[in-house]
Amino acid sequence: MTESVRLPLIALAGNPNSGKTALFNALTGSRQKVANYPGVTVERREGRLSTSSGKGLRVLDLPGVYSLDPQSPDEEVTRDVLLKRLPSEDAPEALVVVVDATALERSLALVLELKPVFPRMVVALNMADLAKARGQELDLQALSKGLGVPVVCTVATRGQGIIELLAEVERALEASPRAAAVAAAEPDHSVAAISARFAEVDRILKASRRHELAPSFWTERLDRVVVHPLWGSLLLGVVLAAVFEAVFTWAGPLQDLVDALFAWLGESATAWLPAGPLQSLIVDGIIAGVGGVVIFLPQIVLLFLFILLMEDSGYMARAAFLMDRIMGRVGLHGRAFIPLLSSFACAIPGIMATRTIENRRERMATMMVAPLMTCSARLPVYALLIAAFIPNRKVLGPFGLQGLTMFGLYALGVVSAMAVAWTLRLTALKGPQPHLLLELPTYKLPAWRNVLMGLAQRSWMFVRRAGTIILSLSIVIWFLASYPKSPEGAPGPAIQYSYAGRIGHAVEPVFRPIGFDWRISTGLIPGFAAREVMVGALATVYAVEAEDEEKLQTALGDRLAGSWSLATALALLIWYVFAPQCLSTLAVARRETNSWAWTGFMLFYLTALAYVGAFIAYQGAVLLGWG
Amino acid sequence: MTAQIQEIIALAAVGGVALYWSRRLFRAELALPLARLLLRLGRVKWAFALRAWVAVGRGRSKD
């Protein structure tokens, strides 16, 4: 048992948007560990700190709740930790309830609900500066007396009140004996009990509030435009277009840097190691495989940056509110907009972001369609095939045929996702029309410290995945494509004799009706690990020599244009709109749905859509004489 | 480094990866159903040993 395990554990609880995570960041700084709670995929954030008296503490940031009557998997975790129902978790020895000083009525009801369950409690009255700016004046002593627990004013984003808060926590830890810290009684959720708690909150506030809170000046004025059905929707369209433009254009130079880094690594390894199987494993397997995925890191970081900025400023809740009308028509929840937007970068964070959707059926429907959003891993395949087969000429004013084809592939993904969600909500995931009950927080300037820490954590999760799953798959794919070796003097590329080549030949009859020969079938097999691997796999199959990505794409494109028909290229493009060719997505879907059946269904329906779509595209193109 | 030594190292890496993931997959997905089956077959010691192994792994990784 390490020293950190023995340190007393304090938990942070509070309503969503109360500034809990900002307080956690202010308390622990960079000494944080992000993982998941055992058995579920709810994020678990624990950090360490030292008080001014030198006492070490562990801090647990619990998911936000409105009460201990959970409505989502995140809220269930908070209830289970506080009621000691998670055997793998240490029981917290003290609880800090973070209260939004600008929303006292709702926040204090949670304090009163938690108090009998957790008597060793301190209330952090957060965003005290915003409440003061809006004219609220509080008698802290009266508030503390009314609640029966110590109350400390904090401004977490500026680190104010942290020392006073920790002093109160230390006092609470010393005052009551450890055994009395957790009563672990089930709170009363009856209507009468809830009404009584709110009546008590009114009584306490009457006794402690000297000046009422004025409405937020900026929030009211901004919301007249931002949540307006017409102007708000137009603004959302502009914001989303700007985000996409930034993600695709700003990321370019950074992606070139990553590409150059991996090219340098490959060249260095080639120079350092003599030619042979180990050099091939490191250069063609590991560096090419991992580099092919890490190249999308800049796009993912930028997308997360915009998502975090929208969340922190309070705009994301408004966007979900506006999108609810469109999403509701296909049976999806307004909150599904955020995961589906994230899926344009990568379906993995998209599927993980569905945790905010409370209803299981709506959450499941969103997860099932998230892989249909065109993720950035499809771009290399689209770019290769469009450049090779679609003529570069203007057709609609300034719009070129190549750009329109790319747009059409994105649109096909979105339309299919909506159609699948609608079908699922009418059949397997049938249920009442979703209702959106959403708190619209006041607008705030994003706290850069929080945004950067959130960005660093999410980026690290992506890099860690690349370092584990993608690294492992790259090694396995290299093995399948390299062994057994071709007999000496055998004609054709060596991959034809490998396990991957043999599998390609074996499955060729299945893919022949959609226009794929054994070479494409061979490329599809490693492409099942990650879509973009297909480009490298095709290059290997066609035995193209290339030094860098651009040269590789040009040379390969010419080769493909000479060997495939337009019908085959169109079929492969349609295949990639639908095909679930990403093992990481399937692995995350398995974890998030906690069901092999739903993961199997996702794999099956996406493969079936891909096959049928590619079949129609190929046979239709042949009929038109493009075969 | 001869080609033969390179080949041994490369294949050891492939074997290591295969072993690591099969152990992880077994622990995450198959060990508990197998422990239940062993309990039903009356192999109580084996069943509890398997469950303890799964619990130790979860406690260590917390993910």
State both tokens at A124: 């952090």
| The residue to which tokens 């999760």 are assigned | A461
Is the pLDDT at A588 greater than 50, yes or no?
yes
Omega before A484 cis (within 30°)?
A: yes
Whether residues A273 and B20 touch (CB distance < 8 A) is answered with: no
Looking at A153-157, A283-287, A419-423, which range is the least confident one? A283-287
Q: Which of A17-21, A375-379, A525-529, A621-625 has the highest mean pLDDT?
A: A621-625
Structure confidence at residue A547 (pLDDT): 46
Residue A9, phi then psi, degrees to nearest 5? -105, 125
Residue A594, phi then psi, degrees to nearest 5? 55, 35
Longest dimension (CA), chain A: 93
Looking at A363-367, A423-427, A542-546, which range is the least confident one? A542-546
Residue A400, phi then psi, degrees to nearest 5? -95, 160
Q: Do A148 and A115 touch, CB atoms closer than 8 A?
A: yes
A379 interfaces chain B, CB cutoff of 8 Å: no
Residue ranges and CATH numbers for the domains of chain A are 3-214 (3.40.50.300), 231-431+448-452 (no CATH), 486-623 (no CATH)
How many domains in chain B? 1
Whether residues A280 and B13 touch (CB distance < 8 A) is answered with: no
- H or E stretch at A170: helix A162-175
B18 interfaces chain A, CB cutoff of 8 Å: yes
What CA–CA distances, in Å, run from A337 to A64, A225, A227, A334, A544? 20, 20, 15, 6, 42
Structure confidence at residue A546 (pLDDT): 44
A510 interfaces chain B, CB cutoff of 8 Å: no
Whether residues B10 and A280 touch (CB distance < 8 A) is answered with: yes
Is the pLDDT at A314 greater than 80, yes or no?
yes
B56 interfaces chain A, CB cutoff of 8 Å: no
Which spans in A209-354 are helix H? Answer: 217-226, 231-272, 277-280, 288-294, 297-313, 315-329, 337-342, 347-352
Chain A CB contacts of B18 below 8 Å: 476
pLDDT tens-digit series, residues B7-58: 999 999 999 988 988 888 888 778 888 999 999 999 999 999 888 888 776 6
Is the pLDDT at A415 greater than 90, yes or no?
yes
B1 interfaces chain A, CB cutoff of 8 Å: yes
Contacts of A19 (CB under 8 A, 6+ apart): A98, A100, A126, A127, A156, A157
Nearest-CA residue of chain B relative to A473? Answer: B17
Torsion angle in degrees (nearest 10) through CA of A549, A555, A557, A562: -170
Of the candidates A329, A333, A299, A315, which has an alpha carbon nearest to the alpha carbon of residue A434? A333
Give the pLDDT band of residue A618 (cuts 50, 70, 90): very high
Distance CA(A270)–CA(A282), nearest Å, equals 9
B24 interfaces chain A, CB cutoff of 8 Å: no
A600 interfaces chain B, CB cutoff of 8 Å: no
B30 interfaces chain A, CB cutoff of 8 Å: no
State both tokens at A233: 């929707």
Whether residues A472 and B17 touch (CB distance < 8 A) is answered with: yes
Residue type at position A323:
M
Vertex A280, ends A275 and A284: CA angle to 5°?
135
Vertex A540, ends A538 and A546: CA angle to 5°?
105
Which spans in A445-565 are helix H? Answer: 448-465, 471-482, 499-511, 518-527, 533-541, 549-563
Structure confidence at residue A180 (pLDDT): 47
Whether residues B7 and A39 touch (CB distance < 8 A) is answered with: no
Whether residues A38 and B14 touch (CB distance < 8 A) is answered with: no
Which of B2, B56, B58, B62 is most worth mutating to test chain A (most A CB atoms within 10 A of its CB)? Answer: B62
| The residue to which tokens 């499809």 are assigned | A378
Shortest Cα–Cα distance, A508 to chain B (Å):
27
- Provide the percentage of residues in chain A whose pLDDT is more than 70: 91
A472 interfaces chain B, CB cutoff of 8 Å: yes
Considering CB atoms only, which of B17, B59, B63 is closest to A475? B17
Query: What SS3 state is found at B50?
Result: helix
| The residue to which tokens 């000429």 are assigned | A393
Structure confidence at residue A2 (pLDDT): 46
Structure confidence at residue B63 (pLDDT): 38
Which of B2, B4, B7 is most worth mutating to test chain A (most A CB atoms within 10 A of its CB)? Answer: B7
Give the pLDDT band of residue A317 (cuts 50, 70, 90): confident
Distance CA(A288)–CA(A505), nearest Å, equals 25
Distance CA(A538)–CA(A557), nearest Å, equals 10
Neighbour tally for A447: CB within 10 Å? 19
Chain B CB contacts of A278 below 8 Å: 1, 5-7, 9-10
Whether residues B6 and A44 touch (CB distance < 8 A) is answered with: no
Is the pLDDT at B62 greater than 50, yes or no?
no
* A57, β-bridge pairs: A49
Chain B CB contacts of A476 below 8 Å: 14, 17-18
Is the pLDDT at A29 greater than 90, yes or no?
no
Considering CB atoms only, which of B6, B14, B63 is closest to A35? B63
Determine the structural domain holding residue B48 and report its residue range: 3-61
Phi-psi region of A492 (alpha: psi -120 to 50; beta: other; left: phi over 0): left
pLDDT tens-digit series, residues A176-217: 655 444 555 677 778 888 888 899 999 999 888 877 778 777
Is the pLDDT at A577 greater than 90, yes or no?
yes
